[in-house]
Amino acid sequence: MRVRVKFAKYGPMKFIGHLELMRYLQSAVRRTEIPVKYDEGMHQRMVMSFAMPLGVGPISSAEYMDIELEEPISTEKAMRQLGEHMCEGLDILDFREVDGGKKMKAMTIVAAADYEVWFREGFTPDWDWKAALKEFCSRENIPWVKETKKGTREVDMRSWIYKWEIREDKVYLRLCCSVGDNLKPEQLFGEMFRSYGHELPPFALQVHRLDLLTVDEKSENYISLGDLGSRIP
């Protein structure tokens, strides 16, 4: 059985990197009665994977971790036990059984992410960044050289901006977020700043990831990873 754990990451935990977070969650799971499955290698490891790990700095209301179980455990019991071992800045939000096929892993099916973005205090530009962002996101093409582990490649950033909206001093974005094709808000703002002759200062943005989404095969609409599967009685 595969289960998908939804959790929030905020406060002091936003400064923790993915590897440290993974070790912490593995340790927390071990202290519960959750019958987690281990691989069959010489050094047995918990069968666990994450959907597009969050970097250091952003906060999130919807992170997803898939784990394999040897046998069922109720959602209520698992959430209660995991919650007892969470530190400040981590909240367990859901625990659901999901399809066990390899193609349905959270890290495989994620296609987009919703974000809320704003400038930290003291970093709001003294020029009309809102008008600039509107013009930038309305362009037909935005050539962009993306840095990858294998080097660089040129892509059209505009094709990875699915939705954008400015509400007062916050920007709401839906961006491409899949293995290999991933656009972060900091990259979008950085490229927009450069196109207007400015540099985005380090740590100028506060990024809040609202959710991770996949594409429903029948309707072809975006749906939350958290809406898949069902709670375990």
Give CA–CA dist 72/92, Å, rounded: 18
Please indicate, yes or no, whether residues 77 and 52 belong to a single structural domain of this protein. Answer: yes
Provide the domain count of the chain.
2
Residue range(s) defining the domain that contains residue 196: 112-222
Q: Which pLDDT tens digit goes with each residue over 4-30?
A: 999 999 999 999 999 999 999 999 999
pLDDT, the chain, mean: 93
Q: Does 228 map to a domain?
A: no
pLDDT of residue 176: 97
Please indicate, yes or no, whether residues 56 and 130 belong to a single structural domain of this protein. Answer: no
Give CA–CA dist 29/107, Å, rounded: 20
Please say which residue of 109, 133, 154 terminates a domain. 109
Please say which residue of 67, 91, 109 terminates a domain. 109
To the question of pTM greater than 0.75 for the whole model, the response is yes
Please say which residue of 46, 76, 109 terminates a domain. 109
Looking up residue 93, the CATH number of its domain turns out to be 3.30.70.580
Q: Does 227 map to a domain?
A: no
Q: Which pLDDT tens digit goes with each residue over 150-181?
A: 778 899 999 999 999 999 999 999 999 998 89
Q: Which pLDDT tens digit goes with each residue over 29-45?
A: 999 999 999 887 767 78
**Mean pLDDT value across residues 79-108:** 91
Please indicate, yes or no, whether residues 131 and 101 belong to a single structural domain of this protein. Answer: no
User: Do residues 67 and 29 lie in contact, with contact meaning Cβ atoms separated by under 8 Å?
Assistant: yes
